[in-house]
Amino acid sequence: MSGRVLVGVKRVIDYAVKIRVKPDNSGIVTDGVKHSMNPFCEIAVEEAVKMKEKKLIKEVVAVSCGPQQSQETIRTALAMGADRGIHVEVSGKDYETLGPLQVSKIMAALAKKEDAQLIILGKQAIDDDCNQTGQMTAALLDWPQGTFASEVSLEGDKIKVVREIDGGLETIKINTPAVLTADLRLNTPRYATLPNIMKAKKKKIANVKPADLGVDLTSRLEVLRVDEPPQRQAGMKVETVEDLVGKLKESGKV
């Protein structure tokens, strides 16, 4: 047992920013837009840091795949309490086609290299909403998975996970090493305060290339087009009940 936990953190467009689609429908505008850590990744980091504070694990390693700016996201994780970071540098064309499969290959390779006991990820990212990385990582490593976790407790070499499923909760017990994905209600992530961000600058971030891990980043997906959601139609006022019934009949509602 290494007592090492890998936490995946993704740099996404900030949740409060209004997303704009590029005029040629090839993607969304990312230049000059505020980015921050994916909220579900924050929950994953918090869970790992809490485990460390309870001395259940020894080390929390924050991993992010992406361009140079991803290091800021790793810094935020370090400020929240992670011990060190690994920046897997993916830029340019590769970054544009980087999807859950490629990231899970990287995570699986890193888990083997770092001899991790546990991987904690956010259940999904708020930009592509894929909700696949955790599941794929578990499959590639052939590890058990506890997805949509809303409560996690370590019991010896087993983990008890309470999962959020449709219409209720499911409690499962899985062996380590395992992959967990965090749901919204798992915990309350702490704020990365200014003094902690300053302290985090002393922590180390290792730079790794996907090729060093022996990971092939070719994507099998092709984005055909990206569209904005349909605009909500304006409502109208009717004078009388007859009018209302007439309009409803017209639109085929009654």
Partner 1 sequence: MANPLRPEVVRLYKNLLYLGREYPKGGDYFRDRLRAAFTKNKWVQEPEQIRALIARGQFVARELEALYYLRKYRAMKKRYYEE
Q: Rule CB under 8 A: which residues touch partner 1?
A: 15-16, 39-40, 126, 184, 188-189, 191, 193-195
Minimum distance from residue 192 beta carbon to partner 1 (Å): 10
Looking at the Cβ atoms of 100 and 144, the one nearer to partner 1 is 100
Looking at the Cβ atoms of 24 and 166, the one nearer to partner 1 is 166
Contacts 24+ apart (CB under 8 A), 222-231: 223/26, 223/27, 225/25, 225/26, 226/21, 226/22, 226/25, 226/26, 226/27, 226/28, 227/21, 227/25, 228/21
Looking at the Cβ atoms of 153 and 193, the one nearer to partner 1 is 193
Looking at the Cβ atoms of 15 and 246, the one nearer to partner 1 is 15
Looking at the Cβ atoms of 37 and 109, the one nearer to partner 1 is 37
Looking at the Cβ atoms of 97 and 150, the one nearer to partner 1 is 150
Minimum distance from residue 46 beta carbon to partner 1 (Å): 11
Minimum distance from residue 193 beta carbon to partner 1 (Å): 7
Minimum distance from residue 147 beta carbon to partner 1 (Å): 14
Looking at the Cβ atoms of 40 and 143, the one nearer to partner 1 is 40
Minimum distance from residue 47 beta carbon to partner 1 (Å): 15
Minimum distance from residue 38 beta carbon to partner 1 (Å): 10
Minimum distance from residue 242 beta carbon to partner 1 (Å): 35
Write the DSSP string, the chain.
Answer: ---EEEEE--EEE-TTSPP-B-TTSSSB--TT--EEE-HHHHHHHHHHHHHHHTTS-SEEEEEEEESTTHHHHHHHHHHHT-SEEEEEE--THHHHT--HHHHHHHHHHHHHHHT-SEEEEES--TTT----HHHHHHHHHT--EEEEEEEEEEETTEEEEEEEETTEEEEEEEESSEEEEE-TTS--PPP--HHHHHHHTTS-EEEE-GGGGT-------------PPPPPPP----SSHHHHHHHHHHTT--
